[in-house]
Structure 1
Amino acid sequence: MRIEFPGDLRAPAAARRFVDAPLRDLLDRTTRPTAEDVVLVVSELVTNAVRASADVISLSLRVDEERVEIEISDDAAGWPTPREADWEDPTGRGLAIVDELSDRWHTTELYPGKRITVTWFRNAG
């Protein structure tokens, strides 16, 4: 499944809706990852793309017996860089959330922009 949408303030909610229903049909609260984890990661990454001033954001979702994988692409400048947010900071936790909830993630440079690929292995313990 793949979708593109404008990089405006409605993008995070649109991205959550796009992945939520299919994931709830395919995953349950006892599977790994949970639908809630994937939806949260999608929301964080799309929010980062909006904050980076992306004009267009692409989202793809793949689910099979071995893994769940999402890809978020945008045309914005800049590179996702994890940082440690102070407890008073209102922002800066998105990539830490992605790192904590996923099995692996990486960024690929595009011209323009970048693609972040996030993977969960369904049989990982």
Structure 2
Amino acid sequence: MKTPQNALEACWDLPADPEAVGKARGLAREVLAAWDMSSVEKNVTMVVSELVSNAILHGKAPITLALYMYGRVVRGEVTDHSAGWPNPVPAGPEEEHGRGLAIVTAYADRWGVVPASEGKPADGKIVWFVCAEWRSR
């Protein structure tokens, strides 16, 4: 997916460490406030938390978080360098894991996965999502 030319953007490299999840949420909050997009903060931070967590648990460093704003829409991308793609699994009530992609589906307007380098899936993947202001109100 191409990001429109008039988009604002912010990008961070994150360590493959569980503490990076809280850092990613904080970075997202800061940039959304600067962009006057606090209306999507809850949705974006929930999705960022889940995707960064998944990249740390199941992906391969380096991990990158990028946010773009165009119009009143925020697009996010979490990139890691694992060839494995997200695979939703059903989670029972006693399971500790398995709800992340259901949370992403609930909070994002849409999401998907593309290769990080076209034609080179072994170079990793980008899990992207979109949160629009009109949905968050």
Is TM > 0.5 for Structure 1 vs Structure 2? Answer: yes
**Does the C-alpha gap of structure 1 residues 119 and 53 become closer, same or farther in structure 2, counting only changes over 3 Å?**
closer
Give the aligned partner of residue 112 of structure 1.
Answer: 123
- Taking the aligned partners of 1:10 and 1:56, their CA distance within structure 2 comes to 15
Q: Deviations over 1:5-26 (max 9, x none)?
A: 2212222122112111122342
**Structure 1 stretches lacking a partner, 5+ long:** none
Q: Are 1:17 and 2:23 an aligned pair?
A: no
Q: CA RMSD in A?
A: 1.8
Contact between 1:65 and 1:122, CA under 8 Å: does it hold in 2?
no
Give, as a single letter, the amino acid of the residue that structure 1 aligns with 2:114: T
Give, as a single letter, the amino acid of the residue that structure 1 aligns with 2:128: T
- Taking the aligned partners of 2:107 and 2:94, their CA distance within structure 1 comes to 22
- Taking the aligned partners of 2:37 and 2:72, their CA distance within structure 1 comes to 12
C-alpha displacement at 1:27, in angstroms? 2.6
* Structure with the higher fraction of residues in helix conformation: 2
**Does the C-alpha gap of structure 1 residues 86 and 67 become closer, same or farther in structure 2, counting only changes over 3 Å?**
same
Identity rate, percent: 33
Moved over 6 A (4+): none
Contact between 1:52 and 1:77, CA under 8 Å: does it hold in 2?
no
- Report how many aligned residue pairs link the two structures: 121
C-alpha displacement at 1:53, in angstroms? 4.5
**Structure 2 stretches lacking a partner, 5+ long:** 1-9, 117-121
Give the aligned partner of residue 27 of structure 1.
Answer: 37
Give, as a single letter, the amino acid of the residue that structure 2 aligns with 1:16: R
